[in-house]
Amino acid sequence: MEDIITYDNVEISYRGKPVVQDVSFGVKKGEILGIVGESGSGKSTIIKAAMGLLGDVGLVTKGDIWFEGKNLPDLSEKEMRKINGPKLSMIFQNAVGAMCPIRTVGAQIYESLKEHGHDDKEEFKKNAIEMMAKIGLTDGERVLESYPFELSGGMNQRVAICMAMLMNPDILFADEPTSALDVSVQKRVVEEMVQMRDHFNTTIIIVTHNIGVVRAMCDTCLVLQHGDIMEYGDAKQVIDNPQNEYTKKLMDAVPKLKKAV
Protein backbone atom coordinates (compact mmCIF):
# COMPACT_ATOMS: atom_id res chain seq x y z
CA MET A 1 0.00 0.00 0.00
CA GLU A 2 1.16 3.49 -0.75
CA ASP A 3 2.00 5.98 1.95
CA ILE A 4 -0.63 8.60 2.60
CA ILE A 5 1.87 11.13 3.91
CA THR A 6 5.60 11.11 3.30
CA TYR A 7 8.33 13.11 5.01
CA ASP A 8 11.30 13.36 2.70
CA ASN A 9 14.62 14.48 4.23
CA VAL A 10 12.86 17.19 6.18
CA GLU A 11 14.84 19.82 8.06
CA ILE A 12 12.97 22.33 10.20
CA SER A 13 14.54 25.44 11.69
CA TYR A 14 13.51 27.99 14.26
CA ARG A 15 15.13 31.39 13.67
CA GLY A 16 17.53 29.80 11.22
CA LYS A 17 18.68 27.19 13.75
CA PRO A 18 17.82 23.65 12.64
CA VAL A 19 15.94 21.70 15.33
CA VAL A 20 14.95 18.71 13.21
CA GLN A 21 17.38 17.28 10.70
CA ASP A 22 17.02 14.85 7.84
CA VAL A 23 13.80 13.20 8.93
CA SER A 24 12.28 10.75 6.47
CA PHE A 25 9.36 8.43 7.03
CA GLY A 26 6.04 7.48 5.49
CA VAL A 27 2.72 6.54 7.03
CA LYS A 28 0.15 4.26 5.40
CA LYS A 29 -3.63 4.59 5.48
CA GLY A 30 -4.99 3.37 8.79
CA GLU A 31 -1.58 3.18 10.41
CA ILE A 32 -0.84 4.60 13.85
CA LEU A 33 2.62 6.09 14.18
CA GLY A 34 4.03 7.07 17.55
CA ILE A 35 6.75 9.70 17.77
CA VAL A 36 8.61 9.57 21.07
CA GLY A 37 11.52 11.47 22.55
CA GLU A 38 12.43 13.81 25.37
CA SER A 39 11.16 17.34 25.54
CA GLY A 40 13.01 19.52 23.08
CA SER A 41 13.75 16.65 20.73
CA GLY A 42 11.52 18.09 18.00
CA LYS A 43 8.58 15.68 18.23
CA SER A 44 5.87 18.32 18.11
CA THR A 45 7.74 20.35 15.52
CA ILE A 46 7.47 17.49 13.06
CA ILE A 47 3.69 17.39 13.11
CA LYS A 48 3.32 21.15 13.36
CA ALA A 49 5.27 21.41 10.11
CA ALA A 50 2.67 19.31 8.32
CA MET A 51 -0.18 21.45 9.65
CA GLY A 52 1.58 24.71 8.88
CA LEU A 53 1.60 25.69 12.54
CA LEU A 54 5.26 26.55 12.94
CA GLY A 55 4.50 30.23 13.45
CA ASP A 56 6.54 33.20 12.32
CA VAL A 57 9.90 31.91 13.51
CA GLY A 58 9.73 28.32 12.25
CA LEU A 59 10.30 27.14 8.71
CA VAL A 60 10.77 23.90 6.80
CA THR A 61 14.22 24.65 5.41
CA LYS A 62 14.93 21.44 3.50
CA GLY A 63 13.00 18.49 2.14
CA ASP A 64 9.33 17.96 1.38
CA ILE A 65 6.20 16.69 3.12
CA TRP A 66 4.06 14.99 0.50
CA PHE A 67 0.33 14.63 0.94
CA GLU A 68 -2.01 13.81 -1.99
CA GLY A 69 0.61 14.83 -4.51
CA LYS A 70 1.14 18.23 -2.85
CA ASN A 71 4.12 19.45 -0.93
CA LEU A 72 2.56 20.83 2.25
CA PRO A 73 5.24 23.43 3.12
CA ASP A 74 4.87 24.95 -0.35
CA LEU A 75 1.14 25.58 -0.04
CA SER A 76 -0.21 29.03 0.67
CA GLU A 77 -2.13 29.73 3.83
CA LYS A 78 -5.37 29.82 1.85
CA GLU A 79 -4.80 26.36 0.44
CA MET A 80 -3.74 25.02 3.84
CA ARG A 81 -6.99 26.27 5.31
CA LYS A 82 -8.91 24.04 2.93
CA ILE A 83 -6.88 20.98 3.86
CA ASN A 84 -6.67 21.58 7.60
CA GLY A 85 -9.87 20.26 9.07
CA PRO A 86 -11.44 18.04 6.44
CA LYS A 87 -8.22 16.21 5.55
CA LEU A 88 -5.71 16.90 8.30
CA SER A 89 -6.91 17.33 11.85
CA MET A 90 -5.10 17.91 15.06
CA ILE A 91 -5.75 17.55 18.77
CA PHE A 92 -3.63 19.25 21.37
CA GLN A 93 -2.26 18.47 24.79
CA ASN A 94 -4.34 21.07 26.57
CA ALA A 95 -7.82 20.64 25.15
CA VAL A 96 -9.31 23.23 27.50
CA GLY A 97 -6.77 25.79 26.38
CA ALA A 98 -7.36 24.99 22.73
CA MET A 99 -11.02 25.95 22.97
CA CYS A 100 -12.70 29.29 23.40
CA PRO A 101 -13.62 29.71 27.06
CA ILE A 102 -16.67 31.92 26.60
CA ARG A 103 -18.60 29.91 24.05
CA THR A 104 -20.32 26.58 24.42
CA VAL A 105 -18.67 23.44 23.14
CA GLY A 106 -21.55 22.94 20.68
CA ALA A 107 -21.16 26.39 19.15
CA GLN A 108 -17.46 25.79 18.64
CA ILE A 109 -17.89 22.43 16.98
CA TYR A 110 -20.61 23.87 14.77
CA GLU A 111 -18.35 26.74 13.75
CA SER A 112 -15.58 24.40 12.65
CA LEU A 113 -18.05 22.42 10.55
CA LYS A 114 -19.68 25.50 9.05
CA GLU A 115 -16.33 26.75 7.86
CA HIS A 116 -16.08 23.64 5.70
CA GLY A 117 -19.56 23.74 4.25
CA HIS A 118 -21.59 21.60 6.64
CA ASP A 119 -24.05 24.19 7.87
CA ASP A 120 -27.14 22.08 8.60
CA LYS A 121 -27.61 22.60 12.32
CA GLU A 122 -29.94 19.66 12.90
CA GLU A 123 -27.67 17.27 11.09
CA PHE A 124 -24.66 18.61 12.98
CA LYS A 125 -26.37 17.99 16.31
CA LYS A 126 -27.32 14.46 15.37
CA ASN A 127 -23.85 13.64 14.08
CA ALA A 128 -22.10 15.23 17.03
CA ILE A 129 -24.16 13.35 19.59
CA GLU A 130 -23.64 10.13 17.68
CA MET A 131 -19.89 10.70 17.51
CA MET A 132 -19.74 11.57 21.20
CA ALA A 133 -21.54 8.37 22.10
CA LYS A 134 -18.91 6.45 20.14
CA ILE A 135 -16.06 7.92 22.18
CA GLY A 136 -17.73 7.50 25.53
CA LEU A 137 -19.53 10.81 26.06
CA THR A 138 -22.96 9.41 26.74
CA ASP A 139 -24.69 12.67 27.64
CA GLY A 140 -24.00 14.39 24.31
CA GLU A 141 -26.85 16.87 24.50
CA ARG A 142 -25.66 18.28 27.79
CA VAL A 143 -22.00 18.31 26.69
CA LEU A 144 -22.87 20.39 23.62
CA GLU A 145 -24.49 23.00 25.80
CA SER A 146 -21.61 23.13 28.29
CA TYR A 147 -18.69 25.51 28.38
CA PRO A 148 -15.21 23.98 28.30
CA PHE A 149 -14.55 24.84 31.95
CA GLU A 150 -17.66 22.92 33.00
CA LEU A 151 -16.22 19.67 31.67
CA SER A 152 -13.38 17.60 33.07
CA GLY A 153 -10.02 17.33 31.33
CA GLY A 154 -10.83 13.91 29.94
CA MET A 155 -14.21 15.06 28.65
CA ASN A 156 -12.64 18.10 26.99
CA GLN A 157 -10.08 15.92 25.29
CA ARG A 158 -12.88 13.69 24.03
CA VAL A 159 -14.74 16.74 22.76
CA ALA A 160 -11.58 17.72 20.89
CA ILE A 161 -11.34 14.25 19.38
CA CYS A 162 -15.00 14.48 18.44
CA MET A 163 -14.45 17.86 16.80
CA ALA A 164 -11.49 16.52 14.87
CA MET A 165 -13.25 13.34 13.79
CA LEU A 166 -16.58 14.87 12.70
CA MET A 167 -14.93 16.01 9.49
CA ASN A 168 -13.67 12.48 8.99
CA PRO A 169 -10.09 13.52 8.21
CA ASP A 170 -7.54 11.32 6.48
CA ILE A 171 -4.91 12.00 9.07
CA LEU A 172 -5.31 12.85 12.74
CA PHE A 173 -2.31 14.49 14.37
CA ALA A 174 -2.30 14.18 18.14
CA ASP A 175 0.18 16.26 20.15
CA GLU A 176 0.52 14.70 23.60
CA PRO A 177 -3.23 14.04 23.80
CA THR A 178 -3.09 12.10 27.06
CA SER A 179 -0.30 13.78 29.02
CA ALA A 180 -2.63 16.01 31.01
CA LEU A 181 -5.03 13.21 31.85
CA ASP A 182 -5.30 10.74 34.70
CA VAL A 183 -4.23 7.19 34.00
CA SER A 184 -7.76 5.80 33.96
CA VAL A 185 -8.96 8.53 31.60
CA GLN A 186 -5.80 8.20 29.55
CA LYS A 187 -6.57 4.57 28.95
CA ARG A 188 -10.07 5.37 27.73
CA VAL A 189 -8.87 8.09 25.37
CA VAL A 190 -6.28 5.71 23.96
CA GLU A 191 -8.88 3.01 23.47
CA GLU A 192 -11.21 5.49 21.80
CA MET A 193 -8.53 6.64 19.38
CA VAL A 194 -7.86 3.05 18.41
CA GLN A 195 -11.60 2.63 17.92
CA MET A 196 -11.61 5.68 15.64
CA ARG A 197 -9.02 4.01 13.49
CA ASP A 198 -11.07 0.82 13.38
CA HIS A 199 -14.26 2.73 12.47
CA PHE A 200 -12.94 5.17 9.91
CA ASN A 201 -9.55 3.77 8.94
CA THR A 202 -8.00 7.10 9.93
CA THR A 203 -4.25 7.47 9.95
CA ILE A 204 -3.07 8.69 13.33
CA ILE A 205 0.27 10.28 14.09
CA ILE A 206 0.67 10.64 17.83
CA VAL A 207 3.40 12.55 19.59
CA THR A 208 4.00 11.47 23.16
CA HIS A 209 6.66 10.97 25.77
CA ASN A 210 4.68 8.14 27.29
CA ILE A 211 6.08 4.85 26.04
CA GLY A 212 3.08 3.04 27.53
CA VAL A 213 0.74 4.88 25.16
CA VAL A 214 2.89 3.90 22.19
CA ARG A 215 2.90 0.29 23.32
CA ALA A 216 -0.86 0.33 23.72
CA MET A 217 -1.87 1.85 20.41
CA CYS A 218 0.88 2.27 17.84
CA ASP A 219 1.84 0.12 14.88
CA THR A 220 5.10 1.89 14.17
CA CYS A 221 7.33 3.98 16.35
CA LEU A 222 9.87 6.69 15.68
CA VAL A 223 12.41 7.69 18.33
CA LEU A 224 13.87 11.17 18.17
CA GLN A 225 16.82 12.73 19.95
CA HIS A 226 17.88 16.34 19.37
CA GLY A 227 15.98 16.33 16.08
CA ASP A 228 17.62 13.20 14.67
CA ILE A 229 15.87 9.90 14.10
CA MET A 230 17.43 7.37 16.45
CA GLU A 231 15.28 4.43 15.57
CA TYR A 232 12.26 3.81 13.37
CA GLY A 233 10.33 0.62 12.92
CA ASP A 234 7.68 -1.70 14.27
CA ALA A 235 6.50 -0.36 17.63
CA LYS A 236 6.88 -3.65 19.52
CA GLN A 237 10.32 -4.20 18.07
CA VAL A 238 11.51 -0.73 19.01
CA ILE A 239 10.13 -0.89 22.54
CA ASP A 240 10.98 -4.45 23.49
CA ASN A 241 14.10 -4.97 21.47
CA PRO A 242 15.76 -1.60 20.88
CA GLN A 243 18.89 -1.59 18.73
CA ASN A 244 20.04 1.99 19.14
CA GLU A 245 22.04 3.01 22.24
CA TYR A 246 19.82 5.99 22.98
CA THR A 247 16.62 4.00 22.55
CA LYS A 248 17.97 1.40 24.94
CA LYS A 249 18.69 4.11 27.51
CA LEU A 250 15.26 5.63 27.01
CA MET A 251 13.38 2.36 27.34
CA ASP A 252 15.47 1.45 30.36
CA ALA A 253 14.47 4.67 32.11
CA VAL A 254 10.75 4.06 31.67
CA PRO A 255 9.29 3.12 35.05
CA LYS A 256 7.54 -0.19 34.64
CA LEU A 257 4.88 -1.59 36.86
CA LYS A 258 6.13 -4.90 38.19
CA LYS A 259 3.15 -7.18 38.46
CA ALA A 260 3.27 -10.73 39.71
CA VAL A 261 1.55 -12.88 37.12
Partner 1 sequence: MEDKNDEVKKTKEKLTDKSKKAEEKAAKEAAKAKERAEKEALKAKRKTARDSERSKKMVEKLAKKKAKAGIYAETIENVASSGTSAIHYLSPEDNPNLEITDDTILVVNNLTKVFHKKGQGEFTAVDHVSFTLNKGECLGIVGESGSGKSTIVKMITRLLDATEGTISLNGKDVTNVKGKDQRELYKNIQMVFQMPFDSFDPRHNLGCGVGESLRNNGMSKEDTNKRVAELLEMCGLEPEFASRYPHQVSGGQCQRAAIARAIAIDPEILICDEATSALDVTVQRQVLDLLVELRKKLGMSYLFISHDLAVVQQICDRVLVLYHGKIVETGTPDEIINSPKDPYTKNLVESVL
Q: Is 138 in the site for partner 1 (CB under 8 A)?
A: no
Single residue of 17, 39, 77, 138 touching partner 1 by CB under 8 A: 39
Single residue of 210, 226, 232, 233 touching partner 1 by CB under 8 A: 210
- 252's CB contacts (< 8 A; 6+ apart) are none
CB of 14: closest distance to partner 1 in angstroms? 17
**Window contacting partner 1 (CB under 8 A); options: 113-121, 130-138, 157-165, 211-219:** 211-219
Single residue of 135, 190, 222, 235 touching partner 1 by CB under 8 A: 190
Kindly report the number of other CB atoms within 10 A of residue 17's CB atom: 8
CB of 90: closest distance to partner 1 in angstroms? 22
Single residue of 27, 95, 159, 211 touching partner 1 by CB under 8 A: 211
For residue 86, which amino acid is it? Answer: P
Single residue of 44, 84, 108, 186 touching partner 1 by CB under 8 A: 186
CB neighbour burial string for 112-134, b if at least 16 within 10 angstroms, e if fewer: ebeeeebeeeeebbebbbebbeb
Contact 147, 103 (CB under 8 A): yes
Decide: helix, strand or coil at residue 259: coil
Task: Look at the alpha carbons of 214, 217, 221, 222 in this order and tell me if their dihedral is positive or negative.
Answer: negative
Q: Is 198 in the site for partner 1 (CB under 8 A)?
A: no
Kindly report the number of other CB atoms within 10 A of residue 33's CB atom: 24
Single residue of 109, 213, 235, 238 touching partner 1 by CB under 8 A: 213
Alpha carbon distance 65, 126 (integer Å): 36
Q: Is 187 in the site for partner 1 (CB under 8 A)?
A: yes
For partner 1, the binding residues (CB under 8 A) are 38-39, 153, 182-187, 190, 209-213, 215-216, 249-250, 252-260
